[in-house]
Amino acid sequence: MAREGIAVEGRGRPWDWILAQLWAERVLISAAVFVGFMMWAGGFHLGWTFFAVALLVLAGLARVERMEERSSRPRVAAAASAPAELPVVADPLAEIATVLDALDMPALLVTSDETVKLQNRAAEALFGIIPRDSDLAGRIRSPGILDMVREAISSVQPREIEHAERLPSESVYIVRVTPVRAPTAPDEKPRLFLIVFRDVSHARRIDRMRSDFVANASHELRTPLASLRGFVETLQGPAKDDSRAHEKFLAIMHEQATRMSRLVDDLLSLSRLEIKANIPPDEKVDLKPLLGHVRDSLQPLAEELGVEVVLEIPDSPVVVSGDRDELTEVFENLVENACKYGQEGKRVEVRVTGGGGEPVEVSVIDHGPGIAPEHVPRITERFYRVNVEASRSKKGTGLGLAIVKHILTRHRARLTVRSELGKGTVFTVRF
Ligand code: ADP
């Protein structure tokens, strides 16, 4: 192990050593004088007493001589030319351990015989405490990692693999083994190997979300596109001269084209929001006229669905900092959903509380069928719908609440959802 035979030069200054010698000599002489005095005081003959003192002084001088001789003898070849100072032998592993502890990723230092010499704190959290000198294979069960470590040891080259863990949670690591060459002997075969575990789970999750998103978006667009193509072919072929079919198919085609443009609008809206996600809006917006406008613009839909939209708002202005257009989009989405999905409750309340120093809360309350608890945490995900067909038939894209969530995150506001099956749902925005 690297600990053997490594001497580190002492860091003491020469005058420290001289002071130490003088101090030792002085102690011995003082002790001799003290003993002589005691013998004289005890009634011994004065001549014998001085003789004892002289002996002690000589012994002291001889000891100092020995110390001088010992400290000037080289301990290791490297220290031979060093100034006469007391060498300090440090544990190199202790220093490496301190450096490894500063790493925020799990790291293990193993020898070429696959013995664990060090683990840092992050590795303790991942594997539990591994006693020094344990066998690596006794702690890491993954054959992939063990094979890679063996390959790195035999080839003395860095190696890397991706390793997935299922428990306690799904995690993905890039595990890399690097031979550690001693700076004093760069040509010697390394005896230590550093294994680091880089957690890439978050990046992988984002990658998966992106690819899911692209797959979902393409799927959503493909369905109306396929339907449009089908109708175009029918109109060009079998229904070429059928004026009644023309009218019917063109209406469906119009509906499908509208659905596609709604989807594209929502996708563009999301990407615009992503671009400015970290810039909080600074406009002052009075929610009173804004919510009044939302209610008016959704009045035709509410009437069509037989729903009454009731606004409960304080008389005084309710001002929040935000972006007027984006907040309009938030409440249009929430009220539209409440009308569409809570239609059977026949009434939707938009209730505003707070203001004048108190946190402002806007609740959109419907008395519809509610949302089952297992769906509630997921409804703000892109394209997540409790019932895909119901959403499509209500002209939904599955992106409305994802847009709401993005806007509110940018506004540093929170969205909470409380729902009870059979009783209805309350979406609350807290500024
Ligand atoms: P969509 O375009 O499908 O309406 P949203 O993101 O706005 O997409 O909503 C996601 C899903 O959440 C909807 O498909 C619906 O299943 C459910 N949902 C939203 N609001 C309500 C509500 N007020 N009551 C019941 N379900 C709702």
Q: Which residue(s) pair with 310 in the sheet? A: 349
Task: Compute the distance between CA of residue 334 and CA of residue 404 in angstroms, rounded to an integer.
Answer: 8
**345 — alpha (psi -120 to 50), left (phi > 0) or beta?**
alpha
| CATH 1.10.287.130 location in the chain | 204-275
For the Cβ of 339 lying below 6 angstroms from any atom of ligand 1, the answer is no
Asked if the model's pLDDT at residue 73 lies above 60, the reply is no
pLDDT tens across 339-373, in order? 999 999 999 999 999 887 889 999 999 999 999 99
| CATH 3.30.565.10 location in the chain | 284-430
CA angle 390, 392, 393 (to 5 degrees): 65
Asked if the model's pLDDT at residue 72 lies above 70, the reply is no
100 CA distance to ligand 1 middle (Å): 49
Q: Into which CATH architecture does domain 284-430 fall? A: 2-Layer Sandwich (3.30)
Best residue among 341, 392, 404, 419 to mutate for probing ligand 1's pocket (most ligand atoms within 8 Å of CB) is: 341
Output the pLDDT for position 277: 82
Return the SS3 of 380.
coil
| CATH 3.30.450.20 location in the chain | 92-199
Output the pLDDT for position 15: 41
353 CA distance to ligand 1 middle (Å): 24
Q: What is the mean pLDDT of residues 54-70?
A: 61
Asked if the model's pLDDT at residue 9 lies above 60, the reply is no
For the Cβ of 343 lying below 6 angstroms from any atom of ligand 1, the answer is no
Going edge to edge, which strands form the sheet with 358-366? 308-312, 347-355, 358-366, 424-430, 414-420
337 CA distance to ligand 1 middle (Å): 6
pLDDT tens across 186-235, in order? 778 888 999 999 999 999 988 988 888 888 889 889 988 999 999 999 99
Best residue among 216, 273, 334, 379 to mutate for probing ligand 1's pocket (most ligand atoms within 8 Å of CB) is: 379
More confident residue, 187 or 63: 187
The overall average pLDDT reported for the chain is 84
- CATH code for the structural domain at 204-275: 1.10.287.130
Residue with tokens 């003192």: 53
The secondary structure of 258-277 as a DSSP string is: HHHHHHHHHHHHHHHHHHTT
CATH 3.30.450.20 correct for 92-199: yes
User: Could you tell me the CA-to-CA distances from 339 to 279, 293, 295, 353, 391 in Å, in that order?
Assistant: 32, 16, 11, 21, 13
67 CA distance to ligand 1 middle (Å): 87
268 CA distance to ligand 1 middle (Å): 20
Output the pLDDT for position 20: 52
For the Cβ of 425 lying below 6 angstroms from any atom of ligand 1, the answer is yes
204 CA distance to ligand 1 middle (Å): 28
pTM as predicted: 0.62
More confident residue, 33 or 202: 202
Using a pLDDT cut of 90, give the percent of the chain over it. Answer: 56
Output the pLDDT for position 170: 83
